[in-house]
């Protein structure tokens, strides 16, 4: 019975009946499953983008170090983790796979490595792994699926002519219905990339404007982009932009909001919008893509993002790198520790709210997300941060909705977002705080430990870091046989 049900779900997916497949997957999926059965349902979960369910299906089997765990289980769980932002753990799981394992000629390691790289927006690496799979004698359907995945890589890498050539070749193949939409979308993107506006508009008009919300949003989004590229930002295109943004927010499709801003920034040469995109996006490949259009971003150190923006400036400033509010230290938020990471992560992506799994991946990168216990750790951090906010009387509140978290401003607040590559480490933050508290006085290791509330060894680490970075120096004086230190004068600091 279970196998017949799984076969039925797979038939729905193959025929593009995603809603019917989701209904069976959610409501009829058995609760007691063997490892092989769990892998079968995990594959379906991947296709339906039910990544949380995949983690629940495979977590106990794979992470209990049970013998005879096969490479499909490692690969499916790795991809599910990568889709939550837990890339470190995803690639750790991939490292447990046998790189030689094949099923019907398909190299599993390369297949899953390519998928994980796609979710990381690392399209160049993904493309190389898909091509490694395609170099083998694999089944016809697997070949078509990989070629469709490769279309997305080509488009992102700007190889639009290769996309159109590949699609022309695919037209003679027996393509599963579920892949039609992906092929059509990539063709539209390639036509736009080749500046073939008329052909792209014609293909958009032919697209099945079904009731499925993503199909409608896709058409609305790219209709705007086509008008923007061919006509510029006119009153008419501004209306299209406003409509697409509303639709994206209603559907909670945050990447569409990011894409819309990207095209507006590029077309209008809007440097401030480019800064928002650069500093408010955590994906390195996207940042590299932006730098190709806006070279000045390479030298930008930070960005001031105003939340609840009613005025050009706000009287409240929070530095995400150092956890400081209007230049003073926020008590109970230690640099580099969980609560600081939680605060930082809530603003690190200014477009998409953080869900529990992505927060866990960022705050506890060395831990696998446990479906039973990890959510409560994040929930406790949310409660603690709201307690700090209330005690410090900050115009902020941490909100939770459908498993996602946002940091909302009740008044205009400026968040100083440092360059992701210019992060101040925990020692740097602690040294900055020490200098503010010590001033020009001489001090010993014991003084640092007392002032900062640290153990002696941690205080010594701060002093050593300060001396090596040229911000502290050793004093010629000693007090009760304890070495004394001083803050370097500002004009003598090493840059």
Torsion of CA 224, 226, 228, 232, to 10 degrees: -150
Distances in Å between the Cα of 206 and the Cα atoms of 188, 199, 209, 219, 241 are 11, 11, 8, 10, 21
Domains 302-422 and 426-492 alike in fold: yes
Residue whose pair of structure tokens reads 């013998």 in the numeric block: 67
- Residue 9 confidence (pLDDT): 92
Q: Output the DSSP codes for 238-273.
A: HHHHHHHHHHHHHTT-HHHHHHHHHHHHHHHT-HHH
Residue whose pair of structure tokens reads 């000045």 in the numeric block: 296
- Residue 216 confidence (pLDDT): 81
In this structure, CATH architecture of domain 302-422: Orthogonal Bundle (1.10)
- Nearest CA-CA partner of 57 in 6, 131, 133, 125: 6
Q: Is 435 exposed, middle or buried (0-12, 13-18, 19+ CB in 10 A)?
A: middle
CATH of region 426-492, choose from 1.10.1760.20, 1.10.287.3510, 3.40.605.10, 1.10.10.10: 1.10.10.10
Measured distance between the N- and C-terminal CA atoms of the chain, rounded to whole angstroms: 69
- Residue 312 confidence (pLDDT): 54
Positive or negative: CA dihedral 447, 451, 454, 459:
negative
pTM of the entire structure? 0.81
Domain boundaries, the chain: 208-298, 302-422, 426-492
- Number of other residues whose CB lies within 10 A of the CB of residue 238: 14
- Residue 213 confidence (pLDDT): 40
Show the tokens assigned to 365: 């990168």
Per-residue pLDDT of the chain (495 residues; tens, 9 = 90+): 456 899 999 999 888 888 899 999 999 999 889 999 999 999 999 999 999 999 999 998 888 766 678 899 999 999 999 999 999 999 999 999 999 999 999 999 999 999 999 999 999 999 999 999 999 999 998 999 999 999 999 999 999 999 999 999 998 887 877 888 889 899 999 999 999 999 998 888 887 554 444 478 888 899 999 999 989 999 999 999 999 999 999 988 999 999 999 999 999 999 999 999 999 998 888 999 999 999 999 889 889 988 866 555 677 888 888 888 887 777 788 777 899 999 999 998 999 999 999 999 999 998 999 988 999 999 999 999 999 999 988 999 999 988 899 999 988 889 999 886 555 667 787 787 788 778 878 889 998 888 877 888 888 989 988 888 888 888 877 666 678 888 887 544 333
Report the alpha-carbon distance of residue 123 to residue 87 in Å, rounded: 15
**Which residues are paired to 396 by β-bridges?**
409
Show the tokens assigned to 383: 């409660």
Show the tokens assigned to 100: 């030689």
The count of C-alpha atoms lying within 13 angstroms of the C-alpha of 343, restricted to the half-sphere facing its C-beta, is 31
Identify whether the C-beta of residue 117 lies closer than 8 Å to the C-beta of residue 152: no
Report the alpha-carbon distance of residue 346 to residue 304 in Å, rounded: 15
Q: Output the DSSP codes for 444-466.
A: -HHHHHHHHT--HHHHHHHHHHH
Report the alpha-carbon distance of residue 121 to residue 294 in Å, rounded: 19
Torsion of CA 234, 236, 239, 244, to 10 degrees: -90
């Amino acid at each position: 019975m279970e196998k017949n049900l799984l076969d039925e779900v797979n038939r729905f997916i193959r025929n593009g009946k995603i809603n019917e497949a989701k209904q069976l997957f959610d409501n009829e999926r058995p609760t007691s499953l063997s490892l092989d059965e769990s892998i079968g349902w995990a594959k379906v979960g991947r296709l339906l983008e039910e990544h949380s369910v995949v983690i629940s299906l495979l977590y106990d089997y794979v992470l209990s170090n049970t013998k005879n765990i096969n490479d499909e289980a490692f690969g499916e769980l790795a991809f599910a983790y990568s889709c939550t932002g837990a890339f470190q753990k995803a690639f750790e799981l991939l490292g447990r796979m046998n790189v030689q394992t094949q099923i019907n000629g398909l190299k599993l390691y390369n297949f899953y490595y390519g998928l994980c790289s796609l979710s990381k927006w690392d399209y160049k690496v993904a493309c190389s792994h898909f091509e490694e799979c395609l170099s083998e004698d694999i089944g016809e359907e697997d070949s078509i699926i990989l070629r469709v995945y490769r279309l997305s890589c080509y488009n992102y890498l700007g190889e639009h002519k290769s996309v159109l050539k590949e699609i022309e070749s695919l037209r003679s193949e027996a393509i599963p219905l579920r892949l039609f939409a992906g092929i059509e979308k990539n063709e539209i993107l390639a036509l736009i990339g080749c500046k073939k506006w008329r052909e792209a508009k014609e293909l958009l008009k032919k697209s099945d404007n079904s009731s499925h919300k993503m199909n409608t949003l896709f058409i609305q989004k790219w209709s705007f982009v086509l008008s923007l590229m061919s006509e510029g930002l006119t009153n008419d295109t501004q209306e299209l932009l406003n409509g697409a943004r509303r639709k994206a927010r209603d559907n909670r499709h945050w990447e569409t909001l990011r894409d819309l801003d990207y095209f507006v920034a590029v077309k209008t040469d809007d440097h401030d919008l480019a800064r928002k995109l650069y500093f408010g996006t955590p994906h390195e490949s996207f940042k590299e893509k932006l730098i190709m259009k806006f070279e000045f971003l390479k030298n930008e150190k930070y960005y001031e993002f105003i939340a609840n923006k009613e005025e050009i400036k706000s009287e409240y400033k929070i530095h995400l790198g150092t956890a400081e509010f209007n230049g003073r230290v926020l008590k109970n938020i230690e640099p580099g520790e969980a609560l600081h990471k939680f605060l930082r992560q809530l603003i690190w992506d200014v477009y998409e709210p953080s869900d529990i799994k992505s927060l866990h991946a960022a705050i506890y990168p060395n831990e696998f997300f446990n479906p039973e216990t990890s959510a409560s750790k994040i929930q406790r951090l949310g409660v603690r941060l709201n307690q700090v906010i209330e005690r410090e009387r900050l115009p902020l509140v941490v909100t939770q909705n459908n498993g996602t978290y946002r940091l909302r401003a009740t008044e205009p607040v400026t968040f100083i977002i440092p360059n992701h590559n210019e992060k101040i480490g925990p020692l740097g933050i602690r040294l900055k705080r020490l200098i503010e508290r010590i001033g020009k006085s001489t001090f010993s290791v014991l003084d640092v430990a007392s002032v900062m509330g640290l153990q002696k060894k941690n205080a010594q680490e701060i002093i050593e870091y300060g001396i090596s970075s040229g911000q502290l120096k050793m004093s010629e004086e000693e007090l009760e046989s304890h070495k004394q230190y001083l803050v370097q004068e500002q004009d003598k600091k090493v840059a």
